[in-house]
Amino acid sequence: MIYTNPGLKKLILNMKFNYQKIYNISKKIGDSFYVLDSNIFKNNYIKFLEEFSQLYDKSSIGYSYKTNYTPSFCNIVNELGGYAEVVSEMEMDLALKLGVDHKRIIYNGPYKSYKSIEKSLLNKVILNIDSFSEIKKIESISEKYPNKKFTVGIRCNFNLFNFKMSRFGISYVNGDLAKAIKILNTHSNINIVGIHCHFPNRDLKSFEDRLDKMLEISSSLFGNKLNYIDLGGGFFGNMSDSLKNQFNSNIPSFNDYATLIAKRFAKEFSSLDPSLRPELILEPGTALVADTMRFVTKVISIKRLDEYSIATVAGSKFNIVPQADGIDLPFDIINKGEDSDRIQYKIAGYTCIESDYLCNNYRGLIEEDDFVIFQNVGSYSIVMKPPFIHPNVPIIEMESDSKFSIVKRQEELDNVFQTFNFN
């Protein structure tokens, strides 16, 4: 199915903040907060899927919940007919709470309890097997319900040209994958309907290798009789030139990925009846959500040292780049007034961790009560930020130039400690 852009609202994140606007928001909700724009997310989703669907019409998105499980994003995916790609029972329960149909949930990850596997199989969740341990649990469940038919997928592992092997999935190289298939096929009520892989590599060459191996597995071990082939995630999204220049390789566009992958699928399965062609599932996370959020934080103090100065803010590096040490995100300084003092600063976080710097080398104007706005913080920030020292900060969405809604309220002490026993 090809999705078209129905005409989106103004992309609020493109709106320029002046000091008074930020100050007024800060007075109401605190010294640090995230600003998200769900319309940018929706736009990214539509554009990504459209690039693939134009070349292979059985393309689908399984949005990676682990990257950012803000419900407003997950709801958009569900409304547009996408899958919820989850890696834990918690994320699966979140999808169900949001009204996602069981059959639209893809359950990956290396840790699946017996209970969650049983629940998944009974409710027709798309479950991709990660290990022989999971196979044993599935065998037990199939024997427990001999009159029920179960469908499963398998996570495949193999070498890439610049990456030895992932820690996820069952090895195709050493014959374990063929062995796993043989075991599952001994059970008449278990049917393998799909294959999946996961690698961290984002460059086109790695996707080409990933594609080659998955199509080889589909052909050699399944005779191209699969309902779906899931290539996992790891796609680059939209970013500024300053961010692109920090990577050692070219940053592929959505069209670049689609031209490589979807064109190959269309060619590979052209001889099959359209109804028999496998669904191509893609699991973007960062590609859809990274540029949908900004982190706004107030400058709390300025400390002059011998060689440079430190501007301490009401936030932490864990608010912006928990997975990407060494990456300097683009940011803007919103000054309270004018100052001619242009010196070198390190922008430091509020934590007691020595290495907590949000920026190591800023030369410009910055003083107490100024605000720093970091871009491209939608990926992994809110899901990996622990309430270290301070409760987590709120998330808002701008509804107009001056009006906003609370997406996630400021956490408080009780939110952090409610599961502890104080007796």
The neighbouring-strand residues paired with 192 are 152
Computed over every residue of the chain, the mean pLDDT equals 92
pLDDT in tens, 289-304: 999 999 999 999 999 8
The neighbouring-strand residues paired with 191 are 151
Name residues whose C-beta falls within 8 Å of residue 418's C-beta, 6 or more positions apart in sequence. none
Helix (H) or strand (E) holding 281: strand 279-282
Provide the 8-state DSSP code for 163: B
User: What pLDDT shows up at residue 3?
Assistant: 30
**Least trusted range by pLDDT, from 121-125, 298-302, 304-308, 377-381:** 304-308
Position 266 confidence tier, pLDDT thresholds 50, 70, 90: very high
Closest CA to 45 of 79, 83, 77, 13: 77
**Least trusted range by pLDDT, from 133-137, 200-204, 274-278:** 200-204
Kindly state the average pLDDT of the residues 176-205.
Answer: 96
pLDDT in tens, 239-260: 888 888 888 888 999 999 999 9
User: What pLDDT shows up at residue 117?
Assistant: 98
Position 198 confidence tier, pLDDT thresholds 50, 70, 90: very high
Q: Specify the 3-state DSSP secondary structure of 206.
A: helix
Write down the pTM of the prediction. 0.93
Q: Which of the pair, 399 or 67, is modelled with greater confidence?
A: 67
Q: What structural domains does the chain harbor?
A: 38-290 (3.20.20.10), 292-414 (2.40.37.10)
The neighbouring-strand residues paired with 363 are 344
pLDDT in tens, 98-110: 999 999 999 999 9
User: What pLDDT shows up at residue 160?
Assistant: 86
Per-residue pLDDT at 5 exceeds 70 = no
What is the separation of C-alpha 390 from the centre of its chain, rounded to a whole number of angstroms?
Answer: 25
Instruction: Give the DSSP letter string of 120-161.
Output: HHHTT-EEEE-SHHHHHHHHHHHHHSTTS-EEEEEEEE--BT
Per-residue pLDDT at 306 exceeds 50 = yes
Cα separation, 139 vs 169, in Å, equals 18
Using only the alpha carbons of the chain, give its radius of gyration.
Answer: 24
